[in-house]
Structure 1
C-alpha cells in the first residue's frame, strides 16, 4: 500500500503524576467496536513507535481473517498498541504500570484488549490490571462471545498448560516464528540440517523460536541478551540456556559450556548463519549495520526490527526479510483461537493449529511476492488491502 495509512481512531499520551513518565495508547482500527494489541514497557518508547505497532496489529488481525472459512469462530478485531516510556527493571516500574492501566481503564473496559509485550510478562500485566480495578485485560471482547464463562475458562486453562517447564502462552509465538522460517526454507529446498541460526533475544519470543528451530534440526550458533552474545559454531545447548535465563531473558553465564564463547552484544548480527532472527527490540537493523548481515533469511520475530532503508539494501544483496506482521502474529491469533473456541486448552492442538495457519500465511505471502515481483512485506500489505474491505463489508469498522 503506497498511500498514507488512515489516521488512527484514538491516539493519546498519558503523563504519570508521580514520576512524569509518559505512556501512550493508539487504537488504529476498530472492528465490531474492538481492537487488539499488547502493552510494552521500555525506556525510550515513543508515540510514533506505538502508532506503527498499532498499524501492524491491524494487519495481523486482517491476515488471520479467512473469509472462506465458514467454520471459524475467531472474529477478527482491529489493531491497537500501548506503550510506556520506562525501564521495567528499575524500582517503581510496577507502580507506573498500575497507574497507566488505571488511567486507561475506560479504554480497556470498552475498546482495547491487551496483554504482554516487550518488557512485561502476562502474569505482571494481569496482576497490575487487577490492582487497577480491571476485570480482565481482554474484557472489551467479552460481548462478542457466545458463552463468556466457557470462553474465559478455556483461556485460563490454556494459560495453565506447560510444556517442558515453559508456559504454552510463551511458546505459541515462537512456534509460529519457527514455522515461518521452516516454510521459507522448504520453498527454497534448503535442508534443515544445513541451516544455522542466530537469535537476538532469548525472552519469550526468541527463546521459544530457538527451541522450535533447534528441535526441527537447525543448529543455533548464536544468541544475544543484554549482557552480550553467546556463540558456538558447533551449536549451542538451547535447552540449557533456556533453563539458565531469568525473567528478562538474560542467561546465567555459569551455565555455559567450555566451547561456548562470550562475544560483544552486536556479534549476533554478523554470525555465520543462514537464518537471522531479531527477537528483541525494534529498529535493530539499520542501513549501516545491515552490511554486516551474512544470513540468507532475516525472520522478524520482534516488532519492526528492520528499518525500511535497511530492508531495501538487504534485498539488493539477495537477503529475504520475512516481515513481523506475518511472522510474529501467532501469539495474538492463539489468544483468539482459544477464546472463541477454534481450539481447546491443549498444547498439541495449539501447536498444530499454529503451524498450519502460519505455513499457509507464509506460502500465500511468498507466492504473492513472486507473482508481483515485490518484497514479502509488500505482498503482505497487498493481502491486507484485499481483506480489509471484505472485513468492513461483513463486520463494519470504525476509523
Structure 2
C-alpha cells in the first residue's frame, strides 16, 4: 500500500486560522469511510497515515457473504484542542467546508477528541443530513437501515452507550486471543492502559470482567496504579467526557504516578489507547510487557517496533485490533446484525477472534511480525475487492 492517496485537502479556518485536513486514501463503490479527530498538533501526515489505516481496516473485514461490503479509507483531522472554547465553532466551520465531500463520498464519525453526539450536532448545524449520508445510496432500504443504526446508538449497557463499548470489545478479544494461543490464563494476567476514554475505558471493562487485573490507567493528569488491580467500574463512573478520572474516587491502595509511568508498570499486556506515536525507541527499555495491543491508531513508532520485536515483545497492530468500531457501524447499517448489544458483542467476538487468529497463524507460518501478516492479508483482500468492484 505504497500508492499516494486519491485526495488530500488542507483547510484554514477564516475565523481562528486553525487548520484541518481530509485525506481520502481510496474509494470502493465511490465511498470512503473514516472518522474525524480533533487534537492540538494534528498534521496532514498523521491524517494520511490514518486514512491508509482505514483502507486496511475496511479490507480486513471483507466477507463476500456479508451484506456489508467494505468501503474505501479516509480520515479527517483538525489541529485544535477539543477543550478550547473555540473548538465547537471550528468543528462546525470545518464540516461546512467539507460538506461537498461528506455529501458525496466521505462517511465520517467520532474519533480522538470528539464524540459522536458532538459530530452529529455540528453536522446538523453545518447543513448536513448525516455525517454518513454518502453511504445511503448503497443501502437496500435506507429508512430501515437508518432506524436500525439510530436504535443501536440509543442502546446502553450499564450506563454506557453501546457505540462506546464496541471498539473496546474488539480490543479485549484481541488480547484474549493472544493469551489463549500462549496458554496464558486470564486470572493473574496484568494489563496497563494509556487512555481511559471511549476505547480505553471499554477495553478495561471487558478485560476486567474476563478476569484480568487492570493495574494501571493513564489519562491527561497522570497514571493511576495499583499492583493488586484497580476498581475499573469506579474509575469509569468517575470519568469526564474526555476520559479524565476524578481522583477523589481513588482507594487507599491506588497510587498516582507520572503520566508516562504506565509504560514501565510490571505487567504482561500494554494497551496504548490514546494518542498516536506514544511509544518511541527511547521507551523500549522501560517496557516489561510481553504484548502491546494497539487500541489507538499508530501508537508504536516503526523503529520502536523493531526493537520490541527483537526483545520478544509482540505488537498486535491497530489495523486489526481497533477495527471493530468501524465494522460495527457498517454491520449494523447494512443489516448483518441488529441494534441489540448482545448480538453486537457476539458478532464482534466471533469476527475478531477469527481475524486475529488468521493474522497470528500467518505470522507464525511465515516467521514474520503480526503487523506484516496483517498487511499481507490486506493486500489479498484489496485485490479481491478491486476485482469485484473496480478501483473506485
TM-score range, shorter chain: over 0.9
1:248-303 Cα offsets, whole Å, 9 max, x none, are 00000001001100000011110101010000000000011121110000000000
Within 5 Å, give how 1:162-311 maps onto structure 2: 162-311=156-305
The equivalent of 1:82 in structure 2 is 76
Are 1:27 and 2:24 matched, yes or no?
yes
The equivalent of 2:334 in structure 1 is 340
Task: Provide the rounded CA distance (Å) in 1 between the counterparts of 2:210 and 2:105.
Answer: 39
The equivalent of 2:148 in structure 1 is 154
CA contact (8 A) 2:39 2:112 kept: yes
**Paired residue for 1:313, among 294, 307, 314?**
307
Q: Give the TM-score taking structure 1 as reference length.
A: 0.98
In structure 1, the residue corresponding to 2:187 is in which secondary structure? helix
CA contact (8 A) 1:27 1:81 kept: yes
CA contact (8 A) 1:33 1:397 kept: no
The equivalent of 1:132 in structure 2 is 126
The equivalent of 1:54 in structure 2 is 51
1:67-123 Cα offsets, whole Å, 9 max, x none, are 3xx2x1111100000000000001110000000000000000001000000000000
Instruction: Tell me by how many angstroms 1:397 deviates.
Output: 2.1
In structure 1, the residue corresponding to 2:239 is in which secondary structure? coil
Instruction: Tell me by how many angstroms 1:233 deviates.
Output: 0.3
The equivalent of 2:5 in structure 1 is 8
Aligned residues: 392
**Paired residue for 1:363, among 336, 339, 357?**
357
The equivalent of 1:380 in structure 2 is 374
CA contact (8 A) 2:37 2:76 kept: yes
Task: Provide the rounded CA distance (Å) in 2 between the counterparts of 1:149 and 1:291.
Answer: 54
In structure 1, the residue corresponding to 2:264 is in which secondary structure? coil
Task: Provide the rounded CA distance (Å) in 2 between the counterparts of 1:397 and 1:164.
Answer: 43
CA contact (8 A) 2:124 2:130 kept: yes
Task: Provide the rounded CA distance (Å) in 1 between the counterparts of 2:291 and 2:35.
Answer: 26
**Paired residue for 2:116, among 119, 122, 147?**
122
Task: Provide the rounded CA distance (Å) in 1 between the counterparts of 2:164 and 2:146.
Answer: 18
Aligned CA RMSD, in angstroms, stands at: 0.6
In structure 2, the residue corresponding to 1:208 is in which secondary structure? helix
Instruction: Tell me by how many angstroms 1:27 deviates.
Output: 0.2
CA contact (8 A) 2:281 2:307 kept: yes
Instruction: Tell me by how many angstroms 1:55 deviates.
Output: 0.2
Task: Provide the rounded CA distance (Å) in 2 between the counterparts of 1:29 and 1:120.
Answer: 24
In structure 2, the residue corresponding to 1:265 is in which secondary structure? coil
Structure 1 runs of 4+ aligned residues shifted over 4 Å read none
CA contact (8 A) 2:63 2:69 kept: no
1:28-76 Cα offsets, whole Å, 9 max, x none, are 0000000000000000000000000000000000000023xx2x11111
The equivalent of 2:105 in structure 1 is 111
1:341-366 Cα offsets, whole Å, 9 max, x none, are 00000000000000000010000000
1:309-358 Cα offsets, whole Å, 9 max, x none, are 00000000000000000000000000000000000000000000000000
Q: Which ranges in structure 1 are unaligned for 5 or more consecutive residues?
A: none
Q: Which ranges in structure 2 are unaligned for 5 or more consecutive residues?
A: none
CA contact (8 A) 1:311 1:321 kept: yes
